[in-house]
Amino acid sequence: MKLDLILRVTTKIILPFMLLFALYVQFHGDYGPGGGFQAGVIAAGMIILYALVFGLRAAQRVVPMSLVQRLIPLGVLIYAGVGIVAMMKGGEFLNYSVLAQNSVKGQHEGILLIELGVLVTVASTMVGIFYAFVERGR
Amino acid sequence: MEALINMVLLTLMAVITVGIIRMKSLFGVVILGGIYSFLMASVMIVLDAVDVAMTEASVGAGVSTVLMLAALYLTKHEETPSLHSPAVALLLAAVVGAALIYGTIDLPPFGSADTPVNTHVAPRYLEKSIPETSVPNVVTSVLGSYRGFDTFGEVTVIFTAGLGVLLLLRGRRKRIHSDVETAAIAADARDAA
Residue A126: pLDDT band (50, 70, 90) is very high
User: How far is the alpha carbon of B49 from chain A, nearest alpha carbon, in Å?
Assistant: 9
pLDDT, residue A3, reads 60
pLDDT, residue B106, reads 86
Yes or no, beta carbons of B140 and A35 under 8 Å apart: yes
A138 or B95: whose pLDDT is higher? B95
Q: Quick one: residue B134, left, alpha or beta (phi over 0 = left, psi -120 to 50 = alpha)?
A: left
Of A59, A31, A26, A29, nearest to A134 (Cα)? A59
B63 or A1: whose pLDDT is higher? B63
Instruction: Say yes or no to pLDDT of B136 above 90.
Output: no
**40-59 of A, contacting B, C-beta below 8 A:** 41-42, 44-45, 48, 52
pLDDT, residue B171, reads 65
Encode pLDDT of A44-71 as tens digits: 999 999 998 998 999 999 999 999 999 9
Instruction: Give the pLDDT mean for B25-43.
Output: 94
Does A81 lie at the interface with B, CB-CB under 8 angstroms?
Answer: no
Contacts of A132 in chain B (CB under 8 A): 165-166, 169-170
The least confident of B68-77, B86-95, B143-152, B184-193 is B184-193
Helices (H), A1-138: 5-27, 36-54, 56-62, 65-88, 103-137
Largest CA distance in chain A: 62
Strand partners, B25: B78
Instruction: Give the pLDDT mean for A25-32.
Output: 88
What ipTM was estimated for this complex?
Answer: 0.89
B78 or B40: whose pLDDT is higher? B40
Helices (H), chain B: 2-22, 26-46, 50-55, 64-74, 87-105, 116-119, 122-133, 138-141, 148-166, 172-192
